[in-house]
Amino acid sequence: MKAKVYVNLKPGVLDPQGKAIHHSVELLGFNGISDIRQGKYFEVALDSSLNEAEAKEAVARMAREVLSNPIIEDYRVEIEA
Amino acid sequence: MKFGVIVFPGSNCDHDAYHVISKHVGQPVDFIWHRDTDLSSYDAVILPGGFSYGDYLRAGALARFSPVMTEVKKFAHSGRFVLGICNGFQILCEAGLLPGALIRNRNLHFICEHVYVRVATADTPFTSELPAGAVLSLPIAHAEGNYICDDVTFAELQRDNRIIFNYCDKDGNITEASNPNGSRGNIAGICSAGRNVLGLMPHPDRACEDLLGSSDGREVFSSLAATLAAVA
């Protein structure tokens, strides 16, 4: 089983990296892009000791307490069998 | 009185802090390895600048889980003095000992320059020897020094006079042009509700010798020493 954790800056928190990437992408010739926000992605490999619900709960706690800073970031957890 | 300087893997201003305490404050000071868990002999601890854990994940995020941090929390909650400088400030925020967070500078750059900061109040153990309104010349050296917090927290910090240092111009005016990194309200340093924990992004430890461009930082350490002497 694998957990995927997506961490993104909350809406409204300045993302200068995203802005710089947006600018570069436009220089490459891409049009029609209104915004780019940069986030983080984690893959967590899980052994078979947890069922899916337990795994989701455990990884959500990990995301809340370590992988994200709840003051500035939101997270989303997906479990993949 | 006895000072401790906590050394995380990747700390690089630990020797600066040690030097200031031993040479300019003239008090005993130890390095404390991040795996140590006995702070009982110390009156004040300093979390120094640097790149603890290589700034992996977020600046200060992993240092928060070092064994010594459990003791630093108890130390702070017991009312003893904790000073976080630069990466130390980031660690204190990640650890929840100070509110808010430090995010990437708005211009994306690592900024290394001398700035001016205005001391808002003498009402902390770290500024007791400084008049309110004093302007200090201190260096900053950071990529994530852009202080943010929600509206409720900001209002609380203002109401309780917990914003201790603001970026300003050389005359002490707190202006947008003198904000190097985008920090909310030009915040350069804040203290805890109990006023015994202070974090700031500028480096008073690197501003204690005229030869290095400024000795204004000495007042922060001498204030702390004076406070400790008065308590003792």
* Cα separation, B143 vs B102, whole angstroms: 9
- Give alpha helix (H) positions in chain B: 14-19, 67-77, 87-94, 151-159, 218-231
Give the pLDDT of residue B7.
98
Q: Can you say how many angstroms the Cα of residue B142 is from the centroid of all Cα atoms in its chain? A: 13
Instruction: Please indicate whether, in this complex, the C-beta atoms of A71 and B182 are within 8 angstroms of each other.
Output: no
Q: Residue B188: which H helix or E strand, with range?
A: strand B187-191
**pLDDT tens digit at each of 232 positions of chain B:** 999 999 999 999 999 999 999 999 999 999 999 999 999 999 999 999 999 999 999 999 999 999 999 999 999 999 999 999 999 999 999 999 999 999 999 998 999 999 999 999 999 999 999 999 999 999 999 999 999 999 999 999 999 999 999 999 999 999 999 999 999 999 999 999 999 999 999 999 999 999 989 999 999 999 999 999 998 7
pLDDT at A8 exceeding the cut of 90: yes
pLDDT digits (tens, 9 = 90+) for A23-42: 999 999 998 999 999 999 99
Give the pLDDT of residue B232.
72
Instruction: Please indicate whether, in this complex, the C-beta atoms of A71 and B101 are within 8 angstroms of each other.
Output: yes
pLDDT at A81 exceeding the cut of 90: no
Give the pLDDT of residue B19.
97
The 10 Å Cβ neighbour count of residue B118 is 22
* Cα separation, B136 vs B189, whole angstroms: 13
* Cα separation, B116 vs B135, whole angstroms: 6
Give the pLDDT of residue B17.
98
* Cα separation, B228 vs B110, whole angstroms: 35
Percent of chain A past pLDDT 70, that is, above it, reads 100
Give the pLDDT of residue B49.
98
- Spell out which residues of chain B touch residue A9, defining contact as CB-CB under 8 Å: 103
**Shortest CA gap B101–chain A (Å):** 7
Give the pLDDT of residue B220.
97
Q: Tell whether pTM > 0.80.
A: yes
User: What are the residues of chain B with a beta carbon less than 8 Å away from any beta carbon of chain A?
Assistant: 57-58, 61, 65, 93-94, 99-101, 103-108, 146, 148-150, 182
- Give alpha helix (H) positions in A1-81: 16-27, 52-62
ipTM of the complex: 0.86
- Spell out which residues of chain B touch residue A20, defining contact as CB-CB under 8 Å: 108
Give the pLDDT of residue A79.
95
